[in-house]
Chain A
Amino acid sequence: MSNGIPLPEALARYRPDAELGPLPEPGDIDTLLNTYHPDHLRDSVVKLTVGANAGDPCQRELADLLQAEAFIDEADLAGTPVADVDVLVIGGGGAGCAAALAAAENGARVLLATKLRLGDSNTVMAEGGIQAAIEPDDSVQRHIQDTLRGGHHAANPALVSAMTGDGPEVLRWLIDQGMQFEQTSSGDLHTRRAGGMSTARLVHCRDYTGLEMMRVLREAVIQHRSIEVCEQSPAVELLSNEVGQKCVGAVLTSMLDGRLRIVRTRSVILATGGLGRLHLNGFPTSNHLGATGDGLVLAYRIGARLCDLDSFQYHPTGLLHPSHLAGKLVTEGVRAAGALLVNGLGNRFIDELQPRDVVCAAILRECGEGRGIRIDEQRVGVWLDTPRLEQAQPGMLEKQFPNLMARTHVAGVDPRREPLLVHPTLHYQNGGAVIDVNGATTVPGLYAVGEVAGGIHGRNRIMGNALLEIISFGRRAGAAATANRDRGPKKVTLEHVNRLRRALTLAGLPMTQRTPRVLPAYAAGGAWNR
């Protein structure tokens, strides 16, 4: 991708008040996606050989992690301290907190274990907002239609219906927990329309929606008497019963001293988030440091069915510059507010409010066909025309997008005066563990909520459904996991690990790699290159 218009030339051509030509004919969307979306890159997808999804397509780098050796053995469990709780939640983001709170509300003793710090998650970075059909001209039915259409009709309608139906109640619960939202002068919740929505449905708290949600949920969890929080404690393996058919706990380790700890429980809720930090297909990512797909690995090894493992969301507007923010997002809210995408020739090339996969593919097309703006040999992008937005609505960037302004200010960049250079960035795992409307996976005793779960967004998630999903299914799973009145495990084993080992050996697959990954190599003492 070394072609493109050199930066100085593109800058000379750029003017915030230039007359923009009409949008070119959109052309065939499917052809655009098939040609330019990273999911369709050649050699990016392989077929899984072992496990519940044997024969299914899966992204290559993810397949290597799913079909790999575990960290621990039965021998490691001898003499390891054991804790007993009603519900174990793995993951301390929005989904994990919602699940823990719901379980505790229903009377469970909960242990919430998280790899990093409580609240350290992708939730905290979500800027745009949360979808809920609350406007008079809107309905749950329209929300369902938009979600299904945005996901190319690959989502499970039962899950979509459950989530969208929960929308208004989720907002009420969040407000009860103490979350604030933007209001109109008459006190209504302010809504915006974003990509893939047929009407305004995005409720938000300026561009800090995820931060506001996370700090409130984090505080609620910390303050709850029945929830114990265990930070810096990644799960390295799940535990199964004697026949390896049921999840009865997990093994945690400590990032500080590496010591193991067994947790026995009736129900485990996986809320481990996504896998952006695996940098699939070499893309930068918007994700936080812990997003290494641990939950998928643990769930797959114990036999849970996964889905859509070849479908990922590349957010159209990742920052290309400044370089320490490479891959970090400019929220879609900026486009929803009216910012346009402009190529190196100074032309628009796509309706900015098309679903994310379409806009992403269109940007990659511009870059691939030489109409991008080139900073250096590696980096090509397109303009996100923020100065034009500022001219049309003076003061709006400062007022509505303080987070964007603060982040760019640190690096001496002012989006009011200069356009932002953007390029698609790995953002979201569309698929994940197959769940029912209560978040239950195909393995008894194991639940999955949030990004680690699949089937809700089909093959493309529309903005604002992630924050809705984590609360909706988090609360559903928390309640269902507590209702599981099973007397608890008699024996905890690693039978499922042995089963996968046998399968790997029979299939002749290498067992050199141990998973889950826990941290990306560059943060765990490996080589790092910007």
Chain B
Amino acid sequence: MSITTHEKGRPAALTVNGLAIEASTDMTLVEAAWHGGVPRITNIGCMEGVCGSCRVMLRRGKEVSVGLACQTFVEDGIEVVFMPPASVPQHHYDIGDLKDGWDIHARFHKIFHEAARCRHCHGCVAACPKGIKVEDGVAQAAAGRYREAGETFFECIMCELCDAACPELIAPAHVGLFSRRVTAHFHLRPPNLIHRLEELRQARTATPQDKKDDE
């Protein structure tokens, strides 16, 4: 649909949450659902593919897949079901509890003990609407390469479709976020920021009188 070859959409019939509706192929599934007046769809958010809310299960003939409704265009005959919100995560950690970078690897495997058990079923990779190499990312994290794993998950939009797809309950999306978070938490120490923070701290301690006047 480049602007130079401006195509018009074609009419198409589809079902959304079991309701048969008519729409046009230049509409996204979100637009189609509104257009068809499908009731009670409450998981639509940004409509530009970054919030990960509008998770849908799609059926084309015998093929079943998942995706984002705002990033999928209407096709004739497609069956669409808006998925319920993801359940609460089963892996718990508080980044403030991670004090020592040297034991991070042991802590990771304690928190995400399933991560080493990936059976390479490819379910997560197939489910990811952003084309992330999820399996590779999990393997990198399991090997303690958190910076690389975090880079692999850079485009993650928190839809958690990979979590739903994983038969080993690895929760890859959270493995990815953990990897990114510990990388920043332990390694991001920018000199320009640190210098300014120190200047501000010194200014505060140098003029306690002014500080009092402010308050």
Contact = CB atoms under 8 A, between A and B. Distances in A.
Contacts of A187: 189-191
Interface stretch (A15-23, A32-40, A223-231, A264-272): A223-231
A523 interface: yes
A290 interface: yes
A252 to B, nearest CB: 14
Nearest to A403: B50
A222 B181 contact: no
Given A322-B1, A324-B26, A216 B177 contact: yes
A324 B28 CA distance: 7
Interface string A86-97: 000000000000
A11 interface: yes
B38 to A, nearest CB: 9
Contacts of B88: 222
B35 A116 contact: no
Contact of A216 (B85, B180, B190): B180
B18 to A, nearest CB: 16
Interface residues of A, number: 77
Interface stretch (A43-51, A56-64, A119-127, A350-358): A119-127
A418 B3 contact: yes
Interface residues of B, number: 61
A171 B185 contact: no
A222 B95 CA distance: 12
B53 A528 contact: no
Nearest to A402: B155
Interface string A310-339: 000000000001111100100000000000
Given A216-B177, A232-B85, A180 B94 contact: no
B113 to A, nearest CB: 17
A148 to B, nearest CB: 18
B126 interface: no
A508 interface: no
A495 interface: no
B46 interface: yes
24 contacts: A116-B44, A117-B85, A121-B45, A134-B190, A136-B195, A169-B200, A172-B193, A172-B197, A178-B95, A180-B183, A188-B192, A189-B190, A215-B156, A215-B157, A222-B89, A223-B89, A223-B93, A223-B95, A289-B47, A324-B27, A328-B48, A406-B155, A410-B71, A523-B34
Interface of B: 1-4, 6, 26-28, 31, 34-35, 37, 39, 41-53, 70-71, 73, 85, 88-89, 92-95, 130, 150, 154-158, 174, 177, 180-185, 188-193, 195-197, 200
Interface of A: 7, 11, 116-117, 119-121, 124-125, 132-136, 140, 165, 168-169, 171-172, 175-181, 183, 186-189, 206, 208, 210-212, 214-216, 218-220, 222-225, 231-232, 255-256, 288-290, 321-325, 328, 375, 402-403, 406-407, 410-414, 418, 421, 522-523, 525, 528, 530
